[in-house]
Structure 1
Amino acid sequence: MDKIRTIAVLLFNGVNILDVAGPIQAFKTANRFGRDLYSLSFVSTDGTPREACCGLRLETDHICEDDELDDLIVPGGDGVDAAMGDPDIQHLVKNWIAQRKGRRVISVCSGALILANAGVLNGKSATTHWRRSELVVRKFPDVNWAVNEIYRIDGDIYTSAGVTSGIDLALEIIRRDNGPELALSVARELVVYFKRSGGQNQFAEVLEAQFVNDPAIARLMAAFQQNPGTDWSLESMSDVAGLTPRTLSRRCVEKVGFTPAKTLERFRLKLAKIALENGVDVPRSIEISGFSDFQMMQRAFKRHLGTTVGEYRNKFADVH
């Protein structure tokens, strides 16, 4: 990306603070890994503060009338229904892309309803929070709703599903703007997946394992995520878990379904798959996932997936 991308976040009373904070933190984190890439501002239709649905008072930088702004983020929240009836918000959203080529409208969670109500989603494919799925299909039949998708991109319209999926969409935007390595660095800094597979009703197995009802195993899972490249031995795993090697092996099988070593291998495999799927080259994927060398990663792919690293990358890599 050659120039700084200017992003405005639309605030209204009853906005969900996570819809705002998640994507914005991803863009801010991207700036930390090099030159400034994104300039962020918080706007309202009249420039006055707004109150989030959690009660937090949010100051705005200015009225959203700046023609130099590139992208508009429209979050969701309890105040969406009132925002749909606000003529100033509807006018802003409806005319954002029309005013200048290259602009993007980005909705988070139920913010897609504001876009749909303004007519900008007609004939487009979009997603929103699963809890709103029946309502949007009924109320906005001209939209091609894909409500089980984490996010959906159709031209200059970007929509994401429930709450934290706004981070997923922000990571995808960072990837498209600046490449997969930066997006992956941001994901690791925020301790989230670079690219979640499946729909918004699916839980990733490695993150799910961190919440097993066993503090010792949860500590070990967190350590794997923070330091996948450590030369882990059963003894060092036991030290982190605070258990004897024998007890750790038994409880890991009981709680996770695999031995500690197999659990680590599966976690590294997951990281490698995510990196390869998003266009990261093989040497960097080895480094990211924590495998000691190519042969170790190759054996894991053959053992668990029945394919080679090269075959997997050729089939699934996203080179957009």
Structure 2
Amino acid sequence: MDKSLNLVDVLIFDDVNLLDVAGPVQAFHAANRWNATPYSLRYVSLEGAPVTASCGLKLGADAKASLDSTASDLIIPGGRGIDSLLLNHVAKPLLAEWLNTRTSGRLISICSGALLLANAGVLNGKAATTHWSRERQALTLFPEVSWQLNALYLKNGNIFTSAGVTTGIDLALSIIRSDCGPTVALNVARELVVYLQRAGGQSQYSDLLENQFTASGTLQTLIEAIVESPNKIWSLETMAETVSLTPRTLSRRFNAELGSSPVRYVEKLRVKSASEAIAAGMAVPKATSRFGFGDFQQMQRAFKRNLGTTVGAFEKRFCQTALDQ
């Protein structure tokens, strides 16, 4: 890895979603504690002027966004302000030419920031994701993009897209792991993980997060396949066939490395993904089918086993509106 600074510009604009900015930025900042090649981040706006996030917080810009920047990477967060930027005559050429003016640059979009990349034409013919609430807009305005809206985040060459809000941290962890190695990524994950408190004694989700970094290559491959297609029928036999192991060997490996049976682990992953989606505003029926539950009653039982609460009680307590996406 190059020992020089990783220079990163973060595009800010009026009505930006603050979490889309703060989550990834804090992850990269935290990585500097363990990383011999630190990230240096600065905030840029299209006019070089301060902006106001959708929550009302004022953000100062360090500089005007420009292709002349010495930064190699550009982070594009999402938010309500994206719709205005789709009509901005400065944003489109900035994003269209960013990679062409850098030998190893990266474009990193969070949430609806992917729509700006699509508008600039850099996602044409490429797989990309964005926040689920932007599905109709993405498919209608940018049919040239291969939208994969079930994905949390995607990498396509030097272009990264993510579903938004907390998945911006997931994407940042993936980049940190690639840049700095799994140990640094795990340290950052441990520092930043947000513990989801349940009604009663709900367990924390950090054990699943740590498994993504500590599982062996074989189990890591299987976990990634399950996360990518949670609505697939993941029987013990199907999982074993996916990684070319016998069901007995797979069960033994899961229990030894992750302390869980394969089928129970799939249920935990589904509950984690579904609960996060519901908390972000996804309708319960849509979450039921998208994350592989046969019906609502199956999801209800899984929530009670893993979270100690019902789906309805969870939704009432944790659901957020999607107004800022």
Q: Judging changes above 3 Å, is the alpha-carbon distance between structure 1 residues 300 and 160 closer, same or farther for their aligned structure 2 residues?
A: closer
Contact 1:180/1:278 (8 A) holds in 2: no
**In structure 1, C-alpha distance between the alignment counterparts of 2:161 and 2:180, rounded to whole Å:** 20
Q: Which residue of 1 aligns with 2:44?
A: 43
Q: Which residue of 2 aligns with 1:275?
A: 213
Unaligned runs of 5+ in 2: 220-251, 264-325
Q: Which residue of 1 aligns with 2:63?
A: 62
**In structure 1, C-alpha distance between the alignment counterparts of 2:137 and 2:28, rounded to whole Å:** 31
The number of residues matched between the two structures is 230
Q: Judging changes above 3 Å, is the alpha-carbon distance between structure 1 residues 300 and 125 closer, same or farther for their aligned structure 2 residues?
A: closer
- Report SS of the residue matched to 1:121: coil
**In structure 2, C-alpha distance between the alignment counterparts of 1:17 and 1:108, rounded to whole Å:** 11
Choose which of 89, 92, 96 in structure 2 pairs with 1:90. Answer: 92
Q: Judging changes above 3 Å, is the alpha-carbon distance between structure 1 residues 94 and 276 closer, same or farther for their aligned structure 2 residues?
A: same
Q: Give the root-mean-square deviation of aligned CA atoms.
A: 2.7
User: Deviation digits for residues 2-21 of structure 1, max 9, x if unmatched?
Assistant: 22110000111111110000
Which residue type is aligned with residue 172 of structure 1? S
User: Deviation digits for residues 78-129 of structure 1, max 9, x if unmatched?
Assistant: 1000011111111111110111221000100000011111111111110000
Q: Which residue of 2 aligns with 1:167?
A: 169
**In structure 1, C-alpha distance between the alignment counterparts of 2:147 and 2:253, rounded to whole Å:** 42
Which residue type is aligned with residue 156 of structure 1? N
Which residue type is aligned with residue 190 of structure 2? R
Contact 1:151/1:160 (8 A) holds in 2: yes
Q: Judging changes above 3 Å, is the alpha-carbon distance between structure 1 residues 300 and 39 closer, same or farther for their aligned structure 2 residues?
A: closer
Q: Which residue of 2 aligns with 1:156?
A: 158
Q: Which residue of 1 aligns with 2:14?
A: 13
Q: Which residue of 1 aligns with 2:75?
A: 73
Q: Which residue of 2 aligns with 1:110?
A: 112
Unaligned runs of 5+ in 1: 193-206, 226-266, 282-294, 307-320
Identity %: 46
Contact 2:128/2:146 (8 A) holds in 1: yes
Q: Which residue of 2 aligns with 1:198?
A: none
Q: Which residue of 2 aligns with 1:304?
A: 261
Choose which of 176, 179, 195 in structure 2 pairs with 1:177. Answer: 179
- Report SS of the residue matched to 2:144: coil
- Bigger Rg, structure 1 or 2: 1
**In structure 2, C-alpha distance between the alignment counterparts of 1:167 and 1:272, rounded to whole Å:** 14
Q: Judging changes above 3 Å, is the alpha-carbon distance between structure 1 residues 47 and 301 closer, same or farther for their aligned structure 2 residues?
A: closer
The alignment's TM-score, normalised by the length of structure 1, stands at 0.66
Which residue type is aligned with residue 133 of structure 1? E
Q: Which residue of 1 aligns with 2:128?
A: 126
Which of the pair has the greater relative contact order for Cα pairs under 8 Å at 6+ separation?
Answer: 2
Q: Which residue of 2 aligns with 1:291?
A: none
The alignment's TM-score, normalised by the length of structure 2, stands at 0.65
**In structure 2, C-alpha distance between the alignment counterparts of 1:278 and 1:110, rounded to whole Å:** 34
Contact 1:180/1:280 (8 A) holds in 2: no
- Report SS of the residue matched to 2:32: helix
**In structure 2, C-alpha distance between the alignment counterparts of 1:278 and 1:38, rounded to whole Å:** 28
Quote the offset at 1:34 in angstroms: 3.9
